[in-house]
Structure 1
Amino acid sequence: METYIIIILCIASFFAGFIDAIAGGGGLIQTPFALILLPLEPVSSLMGSLKIPGFTGTSVASVQYLKKVDMNWKLLFIMAVFSCIAAFGGSYLLTIVSNDFMKPLLFGILVLLAIYTFVKKDFGKHTPKEIPFQKSAILGIIISTLVGFYDGFIGPGTGSFLMVAFITVLGFDFLHASANAKLVNLASNMGSLTLFIAKGKIIWLMALPMAVCNGLGGWIGAKLAIKKGNDFIRIFFLVVVIGTLIRLSYDIFFKN
């Protein structure tokens, strides 16, 4: 692998980690770069390799959030377990069938999500709601299972989907939704990584240096998000959702 390719991928990975730490969707940056720069590599190997920097960046960002944001550890643990198992299943399915049939549906959902977030100015800026633990656990299991499976099967925008689900269903504000999304996403990454490593799908030469850069971006992004708060995260969230729409538009309407 040429040195310049690794350097470009590392730069992309840094920005991916930065954005992902704030609002999710970092895969929208590093995934296209990997596909363009390494067209001869199997897609499964590239997707598996990109899980390594994704895992590292999310881990670093999670640590920063944990220092500043109060967490419901019992609820988080339950969601993380189901997210990990579901992502493993999604990644296994990806090795068997194509995920292209899901993209038009995902596109429609994201359009509605972008419109709703833009129109509803107070979305994610409220005081977190108090929901009984049993109800939160059931809803959290449903969310983490569905989004975890999505992460393993499709991937881009996972953090954003977790955030909007935590806000609308569990009553979190943007800051708490982002913190919980990082940790649940970390679990789903672990589930996918377990499968990809077992199948030998990791290109370590690109994955390891990208992991370092992604981790640095995640560290900076998380600190900035915590410092700036809900308004700042909301803006980034909208940018990421729109970026996801552009990416899916290309895949659905223009890609041969």
Structure 2
Amino acid sequence: MIEPWVYAALTAVAVLTGFIDAIAGGGGLIMMPALLSAGVPPINALATNKLQSMFGTATAYSNYFRKGLVDWRANILTVVLVFIGASVGVIVVQSIDTRSLSLIIPLLLVGVAAYVLISPRMSDEDAHQRISGKAYAPVGAAIGAYDGFFGPGTGSFFTASLVGLRGLGLTRATALTKLFNLTSNIASVLFFAIGGKMFWLLGLCMAAGAMVGGWIGSHTAMRFGARLIRPLLVLLSLGLTTRLLWTYFSA
């Protein structure tokens, strides 16, 4: 049984993670350990984290959308494939050990951090796209499947790939990332709920905090743009790398 004070504490943590997710992604780096330390079983922690993240991401996305930074109609194919990929990932993760991914993903995150640091594309200026929106859809599906299956660093992978492959400016890439993250979160919540893994009351309390954080974070990102998003992407990628490696080798 979860103590009453835990609801308030985790709701406060959700404000911080919602803020981080709205700008650079990676709030799960903070939220998942917080849930586990509160005594929530791992699979239930993963499910409940997706619920609160869905509300925070929806709030951030709505702010980006109102500012005209997201054209969802032009990305409908990617949205559909991200949903399918995330659904498959959630179904698989409920029956497969994910420990091996804890060693592979840090290598990818280091690559993301390096790309963000050295790439001249990491600005708010749009660049020449290397692939079209339709060609990007399978990439989005793969990242969505990873999000449903494991999760850490998903926002960083979406943002870096949108900048590197589709040539989007960093703020626009961050905004579109929220659409794809929201899609994968909806799929994850749906299938975790079907599997009976959700702690609904806790998740909805945390969702309130995540919405506050998402609102503040998205407005902050739109105000400061790449000069804020770029260093946060690097810090979050390296932070996730450290956390995953520590978990892997200390287990």
Q: 1:128 aligns with which of 109, 126, 129?
A: 126
CA contact (8 A) 1:75 1:136 kept: no
1:157-183 CA distance string (max 9 Å, x none): 111110001011111111011000000
Take 2:236 and 2:9, find their aligned partners in 1: how far apart are those partners? 21
- Alignment partner of 1:139 out of 116, 130, 135: 135
Count of aligned residue pairs for this structure pair: 250
Write the letter of the residue equivalent to 1:17: G
CA distance in 2, matches of 1:111, 1:71: 28
Q: Tell me the secondary structure at the aligned position of residue 129 of structure 1.
A: coil
Aligned-residue sequence identity (percent) comes to 31
Contact 2:113 2:233 in 1 (8 A): no
2:204 — aligned with what? Answer: 208
1:1-256 maps to which residues of 2 (within 5 A)? Answer: 1-38=2-39, 41-120=40-119, 122-125=120-123, 127-129=125-127, 131=129, 135-254=131-250, 256=251
Give the match's secondary structure for 1:169. helix
Greater Cα offset, 62-71 or 213-222: 62-71
User: Does the 8 A contact of 1:69 with 1:179 survive in 2?
Assistant: no
Contact 1:139 1:169 in 2 (8 A): no
Q: Deviations over 1:55-77 (max 9, x none)?
A: 00000000111122333333322
Aligned equivalents of 2:207, 2:112: Cα separation in 1? 30
Q: RMSD across aligned C-alpha pairs, in angstroms?
A: 1.5
Runs of 4+ in 1 over 6 A off after TM superposition: none
- SS of the aligned residue for 1:160 comes to helix
Q: Are the aligned partners of 1:94 and 1:153 in contact in 2 as well (CA < 8 Å)?
A: yes
CA distance in 2, matches of 1:126, 1:50: 30
3-state DSSP of counterpart to 2:108 = helix
| Aligned-residue offset at 1:239 | 1.4
Report if aligned partners of 2:69, 2:176 keep a CA contact under 8 Å in 1. Answer: no
* Alpha-carbon spacing, 1:98–1:75, altered in 2? closer, same or farther (3 Å): farther
Work out the CA distance in 2 between the residues paired with 1:185 and 1:149. Answer: 11
Distance (whole Å) between structure 2 residues aligned to residue 199 and residue 90 of structure 1:
13
| Preserved CA contact (<8 Å) 2:56 2:214 | yes
Please state how far the C-alpha of 1:106 moved relative to its aligned partner.
Answer: 0.9
Post-superposition offset of 1:155: 0.9
- Mapped partners of 2:5, 2:70: distance in 1: 41
C-alpha separation in 1, matches of 2:190 and 2:136 = 23
For structure 1, the residue ranges without an aligned partner over 5 or more in a row are none
Deviation of 1:112 (Å): 2.2
1:137: how far off?
2.9
Distance in 1, Cα, partners of 2:129 & 2:237: 27
Between the aligned partners of 2:21 and 2:75, the Cα distance in structure 1 is 19
